[in-house]
Amino acid sequence: MPIEAALIKPVVDALMSLFRQGEHVQLQRHAEAALREAIRELLLANPDENKAAARIAIARAAGILSEDIVLAEDMLQKHRATKARTRGKGTSHKSRAPVATTDAAKSAATSKSAAKPTPKPASKPAPKKKPAAPKKRS
């Protein structure tokens, strides 16, 4: 019993469309997960901007048009702006004392420091160092 080509083509087309729909649904799920990860990354103290931007691009390429993409892009933009504004403002260093410009101010500063004896730090014996292991010759 021969199978006619006219009957096979619609069946194959229907199967292919179902397969594409399944891929589309899976792609949407993965893109939504990537978008959630991007938002989660941007909520961290030190987010990786490149990861977040890549995940946002994945979601946008998958065709997700939701407020989550807008939220993630806005968060990324604000983080980059804040990072640019605060660049070089580390708090790990001490601020400098103002420089005295007159001789009277200089002499007053030196007389104050000369009047107060500086306390000596408690002396502790230096820890003993272990001898280095001998080098192996090859």
Tell how many helices (H) and how many strands (E) occur in the chain: 4, 0
Q: What's the pLDDT at 42?
A: 87
Q: How many domains does the chain have?
A: 1
Q: What's the pLDDT at 77?
A: 92
Query: pLDDT tens digit string along 100-126?
Result: 555 655 555 555 555 555 666 667 777
| Dihedral (CA of 10, 14, 15, 17) sign | positive
Confidence of residue 74 (pLDDT cuts 50, 70, 90): very high
Is residue 17 assigned to a domain? yes
CA distance 62 to 23: 11
Is residue 131 assigned to a domain? no
Mean pLDDT of 76-96: 76
Q: Is 90 a residue whose pLDDT tops 70?
A: no
Mean pLDDT of 59-69: 86
Is residue 113 assigned to a domain? no
